[in-house]
Chains A and B, each alone.
Chain A
Amino acid sequence: MHMFFIYVSVILSIIIFIPLYRVVTGPTIYDRMLCSGSIATSSMVLILMVGFIFNRIDMFIDIAMAYSCLNFIGVIAFAKYLGTLGKRRKNGT
């Protein structure tokens, strides 16, 4: 079971590189933000896997919780900022 967690974390850290391509070469800024959110959710699962590998899950669960909170607040603040930007452009300034 310990080896299985190591395999899963290796596969996850390979999967994280796929949205990173879209972050680097995204056509719009929304694509970049969406894919960085996807990277954050994948790395939250990776943190939980690392906690099970080192047998310190009681510490790593709190880190994962804080990480998912930070991801949500970042995406919401970004969407709010871009929404006000669109409203300002509609008025013509």
Chain B
Amino acid sequence: MGLKEILSIIFISSGTFFMFVGSLGLIRLPDFYSRAHATGKVDTLAIILVIIGLVIYEGFSVNSAKLIIIITFVALTNPTATNALARAAYKFRLRPWFKKDKSKKRQKKNELGN
């Protein structure tokens, strides 16, 4: 196993770890806006790390150029899509979660977005 494969294993493993952290944030966080905050950045970083590992494993060829095109496309579009969803939720007047709304009823009313 050469240096190239060890480096690509490190990159792909860290990317998979970040993807797991982003998925965990989707479950654990209390609000739509904080969930968008979790997945908009961490998933982008995870995809960039995994594809950089794949580029290192592939070497210098046409396929790695296509992989770099995928990196730039995802890095441009994934935060844009998350921003558009959060903007639509803000226009729909979905109220964010505050720390003082501890009672279950109030929180449910807030999440339904009146």
A residues with CB within 8 A of B: 1, 4, 8, 11-12, 15, 18-19, 21-22, 27-28, 30-31, 33-35, 37-38, 41-42, 44-45, 48, 52, 57-58, 61-62, 64-65, 68-69, 71-72, 75-76, 78-80, 82-83, 85-87, 89
If A41-B43, A41-B78 touch, whether A30 touches B54 (CB-CB below 8 Å) is: no
Q: Does A41 contact B47, Cβ atoms closer than 8 Å?
A: yes
Contact residues in B for A19 (Cβ distance below 8 Å)? 23, 26-27
Q: Is B7 an interface residue (CB 8 A)?
A: no
- The residue in chain A whose Cβ has the minimal distance to the Cβ of B33 is A30
Chain A residues contacting B91 (CB-CB under 8 Å) are 82-83, 86-87
Q: Which of B50, B88, B93 contacts A30 (CB 8 A)?
A: B88
Return B6 CB to nearest CB of chain A, in Å.
10
Find the residue from B5, B57, B88 having the highest chain A CB count within 10 A: B88
CA distance A64 to B32 in the complex (A): 28
CB distance from B44 to the nearest CB of A (A): 8
Instruction: Please state if B85 and A34 are interface contacts (CB–CB under 8 Å).
Output: yes
5 contacts between A and B (CB under 8 A): A1-B5, A15-B16, A27-B108, A52-B54, A87-B91
User: Top 3 nearest A-B pairs by Cβ distance?
Assistant: A86-B92, A79-B84, A86-B91
Tell me the bound Cα distance from A8 to B51 in angstroms.
13
Contact, CB under 8 Å: A76 / B113: no
A31 to B89, CA, bound (A): 10
Q: B32 contacts A34, CB within 8 Å? A: yes
Name B36's closest neighbour in chain A (CB-CB): A34
Query: Is B70 within 8 A of A34, CB to CB?
Result: no
